A and B are shown apart, each in its own frame.
Chain A
Amino acid sequence: NAGVMQNPRHLVRRRGQEARLRCSPMKGHSHVYWYRQLPEEGLKFMVYLQKENIIDESGMPKERFSAEFPKEGPSILRIQQVVRGDSAAYFCASSTSRDVSGWGEYFGPGTRLTVT
């Protein structure tokens, strides 16, 4: 499967636990984006990363949320001490740099987080 991969697809956590969401970009893509979709709403940008660097985290809540994209391995979105309001679908997208022909953001299938 050459597409963006996310796991797990579904994640259930109790209030106060930690949630770790993983994203493996498409082959050849070095840019990763995380978006959140609350129930019945559109997608909201959270964070944009390149390998080992956070480029734009303007959409990420200041507390409890963090993201990384290490040199090796998938990008991780980490939510500490989850609350019910964190229940949402979290989508990862990846892309090449803009100067590459066919540039665009390609989305993974999403991780649906439910906080009980």
Chain B
Amino acid sequence: AQKVTQAQTEISVVEKEDVTLDCVYETRDTTYYLFWYKQPPSGELVFLIRRNSFDEQNEISGRYSWNFQKSTSSFNFTITASQVVDSAVYFCALSGVSYNTDKLIFGTGTRLQVFP
């Protein structure tokens, strides 16, 4: 079975603080993809990153960075120097490479509130 766990339901920080959002996944697939999406208050889903299971290099994009560790089945997301505009719900998702489906399994999301 595939499962994504985002244990942090809600996080509150003050602007300029760094914050890490945790994501732990379970899968029997040897090849799979991991994603992060952002859902701002307006409700749309914004694609942030895709990582495949063979690429364990950490990635940095501006203030965003991702730490993928296969050994602990984790794909954590860090925002450096947070800003009010980062306030949103963040979802981690998993897609296994199986014969007939590319569906995404989502975690329950972490609501991040950044206060000025």
Q: Are A104 and B35 in contact (CB under 8 A)?
A: yes
- Whether B45 and A91, one on each chain, are in contact in the complex, defined by CB atoms closer than 8 angstroms, is yes
Describe A's contact surface by its main secondary structure. Answer: strand
Residues of chain A within 8 A (CB-CB) of B104 are 33, 35, 43, 45, 93, 105
> B104 — nearest CB in chain A belongs to which residue?
A105
Residues of B with C-beta under 8 A to A31: 102
- Tell me whether A56 and B100 are in contact in the complex, defined as CB-CB below 8 angstroms, given that A42-B91, A106-B47, A107-B44 are known contacts: yes
Of B33, B45, B95, B105, the residue contacting A107 (CB under 8 A) is B45
Shortest distance in angstroms between A114's beta carbon and chain B's nearest beta carbon? 13
Q: B37 — which chain A residues lie within 8 A by C-beta?
A: 107
Write the residues of chain A forming the contact surface with B, with a CB cutoff of 8 angstroms.
Answer: 31, 33, 35, 41-45, 48, 55-56, 58-59, 89, 91, 93, 95, 98, 103-107, 109-110, 112
Mark B residues whose CB is within 8 Å of A: 33, 35, 37, 43-45, 47, 50, 91, 93, 95, 97, 100-109
